[in-house]
Amino acid sequence: MRKHFSEHIERKAKEHSDFVFVTGDLGYNALEGVIGVMGDRFINGGVAEQNIVGMAAGMASTGMQVICYSIAPFIVYRCLEQVRNDVCFHKQPVYMVGNGGGYGYGIMGSSHHAIEDIAVLSPLPNMMCYIPAFIDDMHHCIDAMFARRGPAYLRLGLGKNMPDGYGLTDFGLAAKANPEARLTVLALGPVANNVFAALKEHPHRDKVEVFVINRMPMPVLPHEVSASIGRSGNILVIEEHVAIGGLASAVSLLTHENNLLVNRFQSLRAAGYPDGTYGSQAYHQQQSGLDEQNIAAVIHHYF
Amino acid sequence: MSFEVLQGKLRTRILELHHMANSGHIGCSLSCIDIMISILCAKNEGDTFILSKGHAATALYTILSELGEIPMEVMDTFYKNATTLPAHPAPLKYKAIPFATGSLGHGLPLATGIAKANKLKKNNHTSFVLMSDGETNEGTTWEAAHFAVANKLDNLLIVVDKNGLQGFGNTLEVLGDTAAAAVWTAIGFDVETCDGHHLKSLMETKAELLSRKNGKPKLIIANTIKGKGVDFMEGRLEWHYLPMGENLYQKAVEAVRSAYSIDSN
């Protein structure tokens, strides 16, 4: 997704003369093209994330739009107060771009993972988190982020293509409504790839309705989702993020507030480091039950 | 109005606000009000000012009301429920307060970003920021300082209100002198030191530094006295926190009137 991100940013740089890109000393073998297009509007702020975000708010206050780019955990956790006070309180168009959300950096270890980022950022005032699942909706998210011109976080993950039959919506992706659905699946961001892989040969795939969510917070339950829940009565939320403050928390709150009748509510989520060992992204997904095989097995239990 | 009278008048207003609110942070505002006068009363169109030591908000509010940026009737709401003037500046309320502050270490990165934007836009605006000396303990100070030097931001002017006291001790005893001229000079700043209560000195130092288009960001180390103008508050840590009772308020106002040769009207 990083390569496609860079290409899209190059196009944005040509469209918006007020757009500045600040990196926290990262982007080797990915952002060289962006440098070429942006010239002095591409800034390496050094290994100094708090200053980068504070400066970005200062630049944005003069009428600029600013991307702050780093590995996801570095641009979320260390500079949280700058994001809250300088960016969000002042509604500044500063876009934190975090590469490798979730367990994306795999064997690099826990310092490089971001499995609480949405919980941390999405409650902040005026903030919109974009969690694109595919290359196609990443482009859509970036365009929406620039059009909205407010505080934003873009969590980048794997770069795969959108499955057939799905279209972009204002909450993510959805297929044509399925009146036969007996299970409503909501997947946050790129882990949706595992859901589609699990369903590919699944005997009950025709009775499962999948919604890909790529924006948080979720202030209201999209009507397509609530209609699906009304039909199926079962909800399975899948996210490479802890349950607290993530999609499962939001959906649970909204289904209760909307008095939706739910037979079964289940959450598959990032489990952290349950036995204190480390590995690839796929390894951590497996430990959390977010892998294709477990998702297929969990879905099977609904039938 | 002479500058001396203005220095006294704004001090009595600061005292009045704190007395009305029964609130602390008096010494911090009296420490830096002269610095604010030297910047805000001579600011050019397009220049920006950020008060990084947000706990000196009453100094900012009084001078902005004097300059017509905050309506006088709003000043009466200071520290009260439903006010736009809380103890630390609020976001998005007044054009002359571009950023809410209160947590230390935010103002310099913000001002550095504005200075960088001004460079990219190739304008001649100056980005001013007022910091406390205790605040230079913050790591963001050094992140921003190095960025400013590396990016040749000679349109950034920091003034450090160096009163030698911070939240719970003398700056020298807490982390040492993180606002020492030698440190900032070594990094690559263009540094001058002056009396932070002497307006002519402050303004001349500012003009001199800004006239040097040498690619170096600017720093004025303004030597100040916490509680300046009220003899029993001067140089005393407790006046970071304490409110005044009626008797002390009257004494404080008398002290200011006497020190700045202003009458009781």
Architecture label for domain A166-300? 3-Layer(aba) Sandwich (3.40)
Interchain contact, B143 vs A56, CB within 8 Å: no
pLDDT of B183 > 70? The answer is yes
Domain boundaries along the sequence of chain A: 2-156, 166-300
Q: What is the pLDDT of residues B60-114, one digit of tens each?
A: 999 999 999 999 999 999 999 999 999 999 999 999 999 999 999 999 999 999 9
Give the mean pLDDT of chain B.
Answer: 97
| Burial class (CB within 10 angstroms; exposed 0-12, middle 13-18, buried 19+) of A75 | buried
Which residues in chain A are closer than 8 Å to B92, comparing Cβ atoms?
A: 89-91
User: Across the interface, do B109 and A46 touch by the CB < 8 Å criterion?
Assistant: no
Residues A66, A67, A70, A71: is their CA dihedral positive or negative? positive
d(CA A19, CA A16): 5
Region B42-226: CATH code: 3.40.50.970
Query: Out of A45, A53, A61, whose CB is closest to B147?
Result: A45
> How is residue B24 written in tokens?
């602390």
Chain A within 8 Å of B93 (Cβ-Cβ)? no
DSSP secondary structure code for residue B43 in this structure: P
Which residues 154-173 of chain A have a CB within 8 Å of chain B? none
On whether the CB atoms of residues A78 and A49 are closer than 8 A, the answer is yes
Closest chain A CA to residue B94: A90
pLDDT category at B2 given cuts 50, 70, 90 is confident
Ramachandran region of residue B132, left (φ > 0), alpha (ψ -120 to 50) or beta? beta
Query: Chain A contact for B128, CB < 8 A?
Result: no
Domains A2-156 and A166-300 share a fold: yes
Query: What is the chain B residue with the closest CA to A51?
Result: B109
CA-based nearest residue to A67, from A118, A28, A20: A20
Residues 53-92 of A with CB under 8 A from B: 53-62, 64, 81-82, 85-86, 89-91
Per the CB < 8 A criterion, the answer to whether B212 and B228 are in contact is no
A166 closest CA partner among A178, A154, A158? A178
At B11 the pLDDT is 98
pLDDT of residue B3: 86
Q: Tens digits of per-residue pLDDT, A156-208?
A: 997 788 999 999 999 999 999 999 999 999 999 999 999 999 999 999 999 99
pTM of the model: 0.97
Give the contacts of A152 (CB within 8 A, at least 6 positions apart).
A93, A94, A95, A96, A127, A128, A129, A130, A145
Which spans in A106-188 are helix H? 117-121, 135-148
Nearest CA in chain B to A21: B117
CA distance B203 to B128: 13
* Segments of B125-179 assigned E as strands: 127-132, 156-162, 165-166, 169-170
B243 band by pLDDT with thresholds 50, 70 and 90? very high
Asked if B91 reaches chain A (Cβ–Cβ under 8 Å), the answer is: yes
- Tell me, what's the pLDDT at B157? 98
Pairing mode of beta strands B169-170, A42-44:
unpaired
**What is the reported pLDDT for B6?**
96
- Only one residue has tokens 């902040």, namely A124
> For the domain A2-156, what is the CATH code?
3.40.50.970
Q: Is the pLDDT of residue B263 over 80?
A: no
**Token pair 């699944």 is at which residue?**
A202
**What are the helix (H) ranges across chain B?**
3-21, 26-40, 57-66, 72-75, 107-120, 139-150, 171-174, 181-187, 199-211, 246-259
Q: Closest chain A residue to B92 measured between Cα atoms?
A: A90
Average pLDDT over residues A65-72: 98
Q: Which of B228, B133, B145 is nearest to B173 (CA)?
A: B133
Task: Give Cα B245 distance to the centre of its chain.
Answer: 25
Picking from A71, A68, A70, A72, the residue whose alpha carbon sits closest to that of residue A87 is A68
Specify the pLDDT at position A1. Answer: 74
Distance CA B9, CA B265 (A): 10
What mean pLDDT is predicted for residues B129-156? 98
Predicted local distance difference test score (pLDDT) of residue A290? 98
The alpha-carbon gap from A60 to the nearest alpha carbon of chain B, in Å, equals 8
With 80 as the cut, is the pLDDT of residue A110 above it?
yes
User: What whole-number distance in Å separates Cα of residue B178 and Cα of residue B157?
Assistant: 17
Q: Look at residue A158 in the predicted model and tell me its pLDDT.
A: 79
Domain ranges of chain B: 42-226
pLDDT of res. B265: 55
Kindly provide the ipTM of the predicted complex, given to two decimals.
0.96
Is residue B264 over pLDDT 70? Answer: no
Is A51 in CB contact (< 8 Å) with chain B?
yes
Across B221-239, average pLDDT: 97
